[in-house]
Structure 1
């Protein structure tokens, strides 16, 4: 059975345009003709789909995350699903791969399919655009990452405080040339964790040029952590510890250290984000634990309240991180 997305692809338009054609919205005559021809060629039945959409509106929400293979987002998605199911909602999961265009396409589908609402971990702080959903009156909750201009409910983590805690911990353990591998520039979580690192280094009297030299942006994937760690080890004066602002990038960083014959805790390693095996590796890995499941369940509960007609002002819920100290940051190798 052909779908709205199939018709949109055949007609060279967005799913939202197809929806407008069959629901009396404003569309140019030329586009409307293309859509109707594509629908006829594909055997698309707007009446049947419209009935389906009315049913979906009351029961289906969209969840957009950058990468469900990342343990953090997998746990977040489980929190969303568990909370949603308790109120009779089903969840459609979409991977955006931190791609704003891909994200825009999924948001368009959410509109065209008339989903009940959307929970989104924004691909970009500055370029993610939720305005079309807000204008249509669709409830939206930003989770983990919040776009700057979005007037929506949000559930976030105090990433800056967590980044500062992590760096202070490394300083207190005796490390001095501390590096930071953060995520993509423009992602709010990346920038906030980096800001916490910079604040702690500045308070410790570290020159800004050293902090800049010891900072790398990765891609929230293992390959990005591996590449960044190799670059840091190649510096004229390499770091003696690293704060990695994502669990998957930590995997890559550890691999690069092992390839170079470097082991914690002589070289300190601290990961932002949970790794299921963090306490099992040798030495056990120090982590900043994120309330990923609670982020997801809280976001679903906020969305549920909006769907129930909550007239409350927009809310931002901020959850805290917890530093779990283990042996990977026990202290540097004594000099001399």
Structure 2
């Protein structure tokens, strides 16, 4: 028996496009519609009317796709999304991509097949590809954590440049002159936070060298290794800033093992408040992200699309972080 995937392959379109043709959607060009109908006739395809009727029903499930649920930021945002969704009568279908585009594509397909009401997503590195996949499926969607202003998708993010800038400025105002930044590679958040770091250094007249910035995988093991490399190659380093909580956990552990006095020898700070940052000695200076508000606003924007109160309006909300000075700086 031929399936919708066979029709899509024969017509050279996506399964979502075939579904739109079958449902008589106006959002398909005449030429594409003709190709799909020719493929259906050629393959003698018979749509599953039961499945189609199920898709027509209203769903109470919201898909949530995050980059790494082990990252404390995504853990807190996911909880906030779940709480807000529950208060509005929706359940959450959570998926973790590990920053892999093939997993993201697979989860988007699954969520489409499961007829989710909408999707909240932290895209992988290729945000344009994510945008295209969402547009093909005509699923209401909101982006969190990272966004592209050129894309026609609502989003809730923080001002990452400002977060990097203000945290670095705080470090430099304490008298440190040789800071190093450890940032996540490949993500727009890491890039924007590093840009803010560089802006602060330029304002204070501190030169930026090749080894001033360390871009690594956003994992605690990589943060741990980076600190050893930094102190070996830059023994005059007097401050280390980590751009997220996972990197910070590994970096702090390595500093502690090496017996480095914080902040006397090396000041330490990070972007992300986690459960451990206020509990260790010394307590860690952080830029706290408004995770509760990010999750709640993402749900609000998504529900406005689902319930058709803002069908064609794209909203990009940019929230601000809070500097929490502690004894590590």
User: Normalization by structure 2: what TM-score?
Assistant: 0.84
Q: Deviations over 1:144-196 (max 9, x none)?
A: 111454211110101110110110010011111000011122x1111111111
Alignment partners' CA distance in 2, 1:144 and 1:310 = 24
Distance in 2 (CA, whole Å) between partners of 1:261 and 1:28 is 72
2:170 equivalent to 1:169: yes
Q: Displacement, 1:18? A: 8.8
Equivalent residues in 2 for 1:1-336, closer than 5 Å = 17=15, 20=18, 24=22, 26=36, 46-55=48-57, 57-124=58-125, 126-147=127-148, 149-185=150-186, 187-209=187-209, 212-266=210-264, 267-311=266-310, 313-329=313-329
Check whether the contact 2:127–2:147 (CA below 8 A) recurs between aligned residues: no
Deviations 1:106-132 (A, max 9, x none): 222223333211111111155542223
Q: Identify if the C-alpha distance between structure 1 residues 148 and 125 changes in structure 2 by more than 3 Å, giving closer, same or farther.
A: farther
Q: CA deviation at 1:77?
A: 0.7
- Say whether the 8 Å CA contact 1:21–1:27 is kept in structure 2: no
Question: Is the alpha carbon distance of 1:160 and 1:176 closer, same or farther for their aligned partners in structure 2, counting shifts above 3 Å?
Answer: same
SS for the counterpart of 1:217 is strand
> Which residue number in structure 2 is paired with residue 333 of structure 1?
none
Q: How far is the alpha carbon of 1:87 from its aligned partner?
A: 1.8
Residues 143, 111 of structure 1: CA spacing in aligned structure 2 closer, same or farther, 3 A cutoff?
Answer: same
**Residues in 2 aligned to 1:145 and 1:28: alpha-carbon distance in whole angstroms:** 40
Deviation at 1:104, TM superposition (A): 1.8
Unpaired runs of 5+ residues, structure 2, are: 23-32
Contact persistence 1:153–1:302 (CA under 8 A): yes
Give the Cα separation in 1 of the matches to 2:54 and 2:89.
Answer: 17
**Match in the other structure for 2:27:** none
Are residues 236 and 276 of structure 1, via their aligned partners in 2, closer, same or farther at CA, if it must alter by over 3 Å?
closer
| Greater alpha carbon shift after TM alignment, 192-201 vs 104-113 | 104-113
Partners of 2:72 and 2:319 lie apart in 1 by 18
Q: Distance in 1 between matches of 2:20 and 2:160?
A: 44
Aligned partners of 2:309 and 2:239: how far apart in 1? 48
Structure-2 change in CA distance of 1:52 and 1:201 (3 Å): same
1: distance between equivalents of 2:102 and 2:148?
15
SS of the counterpart of 1:283? coil
Give, in angstroms, the shift of residue 60 of structure 1: 1.5
Does the residue aligned with 1:130 lie in a helix, a strand or coil? helix
2:16–2:137: 8 Å Cα contact kept in structure 1? no
Q: Return the alpha-carbon distance in structure 2 between the equivalents of residues 279 and 19 of structure 1.
A: 51
Range moving further from structure 2, 139-148 or 286-295: 139-148
Structure 1 residues 173 and 18: alpha-carbon distance in aligned structure 2, compared to 1, 3 A threshold: closer
Matched pairs, number: 311
How far did 1:239 drift?
1.3
Change (3 A) 1:249 1:27: farther
For the aligned residue pairs, the C-alpha RMSD in angstroms reads: 3.1
> CA separation in 1, counterparts of 2:38 and 2:263?
65
Separation in 1, partners of 2:126, 2:220: 22
Aligned to 2:26: none
